[in-house]
Structure 1
Amino acid sequence: MQKLLKVYGADVKVSDINTLADEHTSNVDYVFIDYESIQAINPQSLVNSLANTLEQGRIILLHLPTNPLPKALDTKVTSLNKPITQTNLLRVAGFEVSENEPLYLLSENRTTENDITADVLTQLKGCRILIVDDNDINIEVALGALDGLPIEVITAQNGQEALEILLNSKASNEVIHCILMDCQMPVLNGYEVCEKIRAAEAGQYYAQIPIIAMTASAMAGEKEKCIAVGMSDYVSKPIQAHEVQSKVVKWSLSNYEGDSLSTEQSNLEPLWDREQALVRLLNKEALLIKICEMFITKAPLRLKELQSQINAKDSEQVRQVAHALKGMCGEISASHLRSLFADVEKKASQGNLNLEKTIIEIEQILTQLITDITQWLEEN
């Protein structure tokens, strides 16, 4: 919890139950307490004491679903069920999280945005990013955020220069895969450039390229304005390094298919995490068995449907089927396969159906996964 909240910019202090009452909590926004650890020391008294010292802060009790809070406590605190997901933790702590954000379980083994896996770094190798900004300092800050990634970065000082770079890059076969662009620039501003790119004035090849806006405006509706002109995403200035890095990685991989780790390396990763799936289902093994039986029957059929829609070049249907398959993999904690379907979903949402390599990998992994699940079912 501490590590994740710090990544998102929170000032975090850790205290044990014995010293919590002595802490100065008047200027604290949130107090997270593990309910099971305070049951032996009169939770009601502790909560009342904290409520009296907090000026505007909230008390959040983490508890097991099988151990509900007494009504007297429930009205004074915000409750959060364990096991905690990163998404739910961030939401209850006041951070804005997309409704589509996956519900990853919070654990020390889970990476944050700054902890990029070796497989992702391998996939990024050879990717080209275009940064467009008329301010040299802003460009340096963005370059610093992307430092360490195995990518090539090209810079432009204004929108017209960006369009020329795009046109020349395709001609020289040194294509750009993602654009990070300031909204307010001379000659052509970011909004105008985005509209021209979407209208294929930089070539049809770039009409759907991911474009991440950099905007200094905190006004309501700015995000909607960026999306309305065709931006894929946006970050607010002054930019946060981890946010820029995270979004550039995400959108670059939606449009760039580099090499993955070798098959031998991939085979070292578990096809699915049965223990994590059980935790999510409150250790109800009978329920997991039922879900697995449904998975091995339905997943191959949905994959055939996915391939059929790809052949029909129906991007929206491809996106919908990939989204459903992503959810099915999430139910059994098949993380790698889930990430592959998420990649298909993102590409399809941008009209990119160049998915042959990904589909081949999905077929191989799904076959292995079904064999593994079938063997486990037979043993149970």
Structure 2
Amino acid sequence: MRKRVLVADDQGVNRKLTMRRLEQLGFEVDVVENGLQVIEAVNRTPYDLVFMDCHMPHMDGFRAAQWIRQREGTQRHTPIVAFTASAGESDRQRCLSAGMDDFVSKPIEEAELLRVVARWLGPAEAGAPYIDRQELIEIFLADAPTHINALRDAIRALVAAAKIFDQLETEFRNFTSS
């Protein structure tokens, strides 16, 4: 079963880029653009991870994170990762005080996204989508004849080049000894 991630950001480009990156990693992703929509989404769906912009209209990410923590109580703890363009230590502390678990600066880099996913959902979730061992074997075997033929051709070319080199070496020795 795929893990579910909520991305909350009032900037459409940030939402789309983050959503696409997470979908490529195999996640089920929902996107919202303000804190009120975060509350609606969390009421409908249990998420495995939430990426939360701190500064959104109608309700900011700080208040939305506090609401999630109050709602969860001790029953559950959904990791909330702050998205913000403000990268100072006071901003980080404000995020943690609001109940967020981690902090990344926007725009988020691919490596940073993978780090956060691995930290909160486990390293396996941050890698490439799972491919079955049998599927890997079938892929290898399907391409094997092509690679074997290319290797055979390369060996033939190498043998031919070695013969030419031997002939040139013999001619050179004959030339220099006379």
**Same-fold call, TM > 0.5?**
yes
Question: Would you tell me which structure has more helix in proportion to its own residues?
Answer: 2
Partner of 1:145: 21
Contact 1:130 1:154 survives alignment (8 Å): yes
For 1:207 and 1:198, the matched residues in 2 are separated by 9
1:183 is aligned with what amino acid? C
Partner of 2:100: 231
Partner of 1:126: 2
Q: Does 1:250 align with 2:119?
A: yes
Larger RCO (CA under 8 A, 6+ residues apart):
2
Displacement of 1:248 in angstroms is: 2.1
After TM superposition, list the pairs within 5 Å mapping 1:173-192 onto structure 2.
175-192=46-63
1:245 is aligned with what amino acid? L
Q: Which runs of 5+ in 2 are unaligned?
A: 133-178
Change over 3 Å in CA distance of 1:238–1:206 after alignment to 2: farther
Displacement of 1:147 in angstroms is: 4.1
For 2:75 and 2:108, the matched residues in 1 are separated by 25
Change over 3 Å in CA distance of 1:147–1:167 after alignment to 2: closer
Q: Which runs of 5+ in 1 are unaligned?
A: 1-124, 170-174, 263-380
Q: Does 1:193 align with 2:52?
A: no
List per-residue Cα deviations over 1:48-76 (Å, max 9, x = no partner).
xxxxxxxxxxxxxxxxxxxxxxxxxxxxx
1:159 is aligned with what amino acid? G
**What RMSD in Å do the two structures reach over aligned CA positions?**
2.6
Secondary structure at the counterpart of residue 195 of structure 1? helix
Change over 3 Å in CA distance of 1:245–1:146 after alignment to 2: farther
Bigger radius of gyration:
2
For 2:90 and 2:108, the matched residues in 1 are separated by 18
Contact 1:198 1:206 survives alignment (8 Å): no
The total of aligned residue pairs comes to 127
Contact 1:145 1:245 survives alignment (8 Å): no
Secondary structure at the counterpart of residue 221 of structure 1? helix
Displacement of 1:218 in angstroms is: 2.5
Displacement of 1:155 in angstroms is: 0.8
For 2:90 and 2:35, the matched residues in 1 are separated by 23
Contact 1:197 1:207 survives alignment (8 Å): no
List per-residue Cα deviations over 1:78-132 (Å, max 9, x = no partner).
xxxxxxxxxxxxxxxxxxxxxxxxxxxxxxxxxxxxxxxxxxxxxxx51000001
1:150 is aligned with what amino acid? G
TM-score by length of 1: 0.31
